[in-house]
Structures are given as C-alpha cells and as structure tokens.
Amino acid sequence: MATPISAASAYANVAKLASSSPLSGGEESGTSFTSMLKQAMGAVTEAGQKAEAQTRAVAAGKANMVDVVTAVSETEVAIEAVVAVRDKIIAAYQDIMKMPI
C-alpha cells in the first residue's frame, strides 16, 4: 500500500513535469507531449531500478528494510499514475472515434 509521503512525492514529480512542459505551445519551447511522456516513463523506470537496488542491498545486508518498502511503494504509486494517464488517453481516443463526422 502506498504511503501518504510516497503519494505526495509522486504527485510532486508529476506536477513538476507538467509545469516544465506546457501542452499548449510545446513545440515553441522545445518540448512536446511525447517528450513529457518519455520523461515520465523514464522517471518510472528510474524508480523501479531504485527499488531493485534497495532490494539487492537488503539481500546483501547493507540496507534497511524500511528503505526497500519505501522504494517499492514509490514505484507502485508511479506505475499507478502512468496507468491512470494511459487509461485517460485511451478514453479520450475512444471519445474522439465516437464523434460523428
């Protein structure tokens, strides 16, 4: 289960990504929606790698179990956020496809 701290951290990261690359006029500033999604996926991948590294460190006896649980829950929240965005994109696409021509 995700903790409030990890959820707040994930939302702060998403807000930072959203504020750094606006959707309107993205091409003028050099960033686009696609690059924003790539950055978000990179952040999720990085969180997963951090969780794996913490797990290996606990197995080696060099880390605290609390750090592992925190890293895993942060990854879980990040993945849930990506899935939610994906679902919204698919729903928007389906709504567009249902529009009469």
Amino acid identity of residue 97, one-letter, is M
Kindly report, residue by residue over 20-54, the tens digit of the pLDDT: 544 444 445 557 878 888 888 888 888 888 888 88
Of residues 88 and 14, the one with the higher pLDDT is 88
> What secondary structure letter does DSSP report for 10?
H
Chain center to CA of 14? 7
Report CA torsion sign: 45, 27, 97, 94: positive
Q: CA-CA distance, 56 to 52, in Å (whole number)?
A: 6
What is the secondary structure of 32-90 as a DSSP string?
-HHHHHHHHHHHHHHHHHHHHHHHHHHHTT-S-HHHHHHHHHHHHHHHHHHHHHHHHHH
Are 29 and 22 contacting, i.e. CB atoms less than 8 angstroms apart? yes
Predicted TM-score (pTM) of the model is 0.59
pLDDT score of 96: 93
